[in-house]
């Protein structure tokens, strides 16, 4: 398995420099729970690829999205997740999965442990307690806001993660990006099978300045 870089600060991504790097880079690599379905040699190859990409300037974002049934064992999941954390500039995780994987039972513990490993930007989803984050030494909390209606929670996590990265890459500060991504997730869960009402979705993107008005007819 590729050697993680945990235990040290992410090179060149300390303090206020991380935000400038994130919004100034041309690409960001995001990976999540499919790590579980890879064979050990393929996991090693993925970690080597990510390490190489990181050394060339890519920003690495990871969402563990722990699914016990997909892993050989909890210990295997924890070891590979920790290796992934060591390669990551950004982690989007959940309070429950960190408790299940590592026994970390508060967002403060989760954030401090990930910071110690070297993660520069941490977002922790904590259900009805809201979303907690720490970036550039500053912490924030976005209160939980329920959707007007919940039809289907399929892809709620995927939509939040994808939207958060999109808003960050467009230059939003982390707290604002969390608020924006949560709005997108609320739209997603109000539609069956993650098939979103098209015009409502694009209206939200335009209002958040993620999609220019001339792209309103995108299919």
Q: Which of 11, 17, 42, 158 is catalytic?
A: 158
Q: Are strands 59-62 and 90-94 parallel, antiparallel or unpaired?
A: parallel
C-alpha to C-alpha distance for 39 and 75, rounded to whole angstroms: 15
Exposed e or buried b per residue across 147-165, where buried means at least 16 C-beta atoms within 10 angstroms of its C-beta:
beeeeeeebbbebbbbbbb
The 3-state DSSP class for residue 181 equals helix
Q: What angle do CA 145, 129, 86 make, to 5 degrees?
A: 110
Q: 96 forms bridges with which residues in the sheet?
A: none
Phi then psi dihedrals of residue 24, to 5 deg: -95, -10
Whether residue 158 lies in the annotated active site: yes
**Which positions are catalytic?**
158
């Amino acid at each position: 398995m590729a050697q993680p870089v945990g235990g040290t600060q992410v090179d060149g991504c300390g303090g206020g420099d991380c935000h400038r790097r994130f919004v100034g880079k041309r690409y960001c690599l995001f990976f999540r729970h499919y790590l579980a379905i890879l064979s050990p040699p393929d996991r090693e190859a993925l970690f080597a690829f990510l390490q190489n990409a990181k050394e060339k300037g890519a920003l690495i974002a990871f969402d563990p999205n722990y699914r016990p049934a997909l892993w050989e064992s909890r210990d295997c999941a924890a070891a590979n997740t920790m290796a992934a954390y060591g390669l990551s500039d950004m982690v989007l995780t959940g309070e429950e999965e960190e408790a299940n994987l590592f026994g970390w039972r508060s967002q403060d513990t989760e954030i401090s442990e990930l910071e110690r490993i070297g993660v520069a930007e941490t977002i922790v989803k904590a259900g009805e307690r809201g979303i907690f984050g720490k970036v550039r030494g500053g912490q924030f909390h976005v209160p939980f806001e329920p959707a007007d209606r919940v039809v289907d929670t399929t892809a709620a996590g995927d939509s939040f993660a994808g939207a958060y990265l999109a808003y960050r890459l467009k230059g939003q500060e982390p707290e604002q990006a969390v608020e924006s991504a949560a709005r997108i997730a609320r739209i997603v869960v109000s539609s069956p099978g993650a098939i979103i009402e098209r015009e409502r979705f694009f209206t939200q993107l335009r209002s958040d300045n993620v999609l220019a008005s001339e792209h309103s007819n995108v299919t």
